[in-house]
Amino acid sequence: MTAPIVPPSDASIARAADILQSGGLVAMPTETVYGLACDAANPKAVACLYAAKGRPSFNPLIAHVLDLDAAQREGHFSETAQSLAAKYWPGPLTLVVPVAASHTVCDLARAGLDTIALRSPKHPVARTLLSHFGGPIVAPSANPSGQISPTHPEHVLKDMGDKVDLILDGGPCEIGIESTILSCLLEEDPTLLRAGSIDAGAPPIGETSETTPIAPGQLSRHYAPKASLRLNVTEPNEGEAHLGFGSINGSINLSSNSDLEEAAANLFAMLRSLDTTHRRIAVAPIPHTGIGMAINDRLARAAKRD
Ligand code: TXA
Ligand code: MG
């Protein structure tokens, strides 16, 4: 059975909350990418979610909450963490903090770690669903593990339509790249685990082992199309699709006026589209500034062949 894509009316959001309550999976729009949502406190539902994504259960999930109050029931927020939340929530920032004794998010969702990733999304449909449901919602990107994240409801339908119960249509995602993840443990300065649209100035941590991923980009291949990817290409080879940027036009252009925000919003949809027509994709150079750092991070992971 394929899940319906439904407009986010009060009735369909109430239906989505019921599905979550009964342990089902819902595709939820956020301002970054579409998430595959389930009840964070229900280990059976979380096990189904890992299975639906084909995701290794040692890779923990982000718990989505309405606000800092709800987040502080789940995790310990240092003063630094509190001020980051105050500054950037609701929005595309995930904070990894020590888990609190009062937590409701199940161990499986945290992959048994004594830390927890928390984010308060800005998308109005995600927020309405969170307030109807009343508890934390875990939501990894709604794509099979390792593949390209979805930024349109149709992407979810194509990749996961037979695995979810309902797809809430929140339109195309405004940002188009997953949230910035900062590790914010007590008495430590924040470190960057995953680049995103928010640059809070935290330094990146070094890459660690493959078996205890600290953030998803550390799994060697991620965000990957089926086609091979060649980066920083101004002149494509014969037979290659060319994803352009700025004055390097390409077959399609991420942003012809060199707007990095526009490029981020287009990145996954354009990669998906070229992936259906070509076996090799060449990508124009993207500046390593602002959200360009996150775009280059995703492209580098997607280009890995191991
Ligand atoms: O923008 C986003 O963050 C989207 C939307 C749906 O909210 N979600 C998302 O989830 O990108 P996901 O599961 O694809 O990536 C989240 C990553 C996990 O893969 C994991 O590596 C990292 O967050 N993470 C979760 N809990 C962690 C923890 N306790 N410590 C370190 N990293 C953690
Ligand atoms: Mg993901």
- Tens digits of per-residue pLDDT, 72-87? 999 999 999 999 999 9
At 201 the pLDDT is 87
Phi–psi pair at 185, nearest 5 degrees? -80, 160
Residue 193 beta carbon below 6 angstroms from any ligand 1 atom? yes
Local confidence band at 208 (pLDDT 50, 70, 90 cut-offs): very low
**Which pLDDT score, from 0 to 100, does residue 203 have?**
86
d(CA 96, CA 198) in angstroms, rounded, equals 15
Question: Between the CA atoms of 95, 96, 102 and 103, what dihedral angle is there, to the nearest 10 degrees?
Answer: 100
Chain segment 83-111, per-residue pLDDT in tens: 999 999 999 999 999 999 999 999 999 99
Question: Does 268 have pLDDT greater than 60?
Answer: yes
| 20 ligand 1 Cβ < 6 A | no
Please give the pLDDT value at position 306. 65
Ligand 1 nearest-atom number relative to CA 64: 7
- Residue 206 pLDDT > 70, yes or no? no
> What average pLDDT is seen over the chain?
94
Q: Is the CB of 94 under 6 A from ligand 1?
A: yes
Structure confidence by residue, pLDDT tens digits, 16-55: 999 999 999 999 999 999 999 999 999 999 999 999 999 9
The closest ligand to the CA of 216 turns out to be: 1
Is residue 188 very low, low, confident or very high in pLDDT (cuts 50, 70, 90)? Answer: confident
User: Which ligand number lies closest to the CA of residue 112?
Assistant: 1
* CA distance readout (Å), 144 to 93, 150, 264, 271, 279: 23, 10, 20, 16, 20
Question: Which ligand has the nearest atom to the CA of 119?
Answer: 1
Residue (of 253, 232, 247, 252) closest to 296 by Cα position: 232
Give distance in angstroms: CA of 3 to centre of ligand 1.
24
Please tell me the predicted confidence (pLDDT) of residue 126.
Answer: 98
Amino acid found at 299: L
- Calculate how far, in angstroms, residue 217's C-alpha sits from the geometric centre of ligand 1: 10
Q: Is the C-beta atom of 60 inside 6 A of ligand 1?
A: yes
Mean pLDDT of 1-20: 96
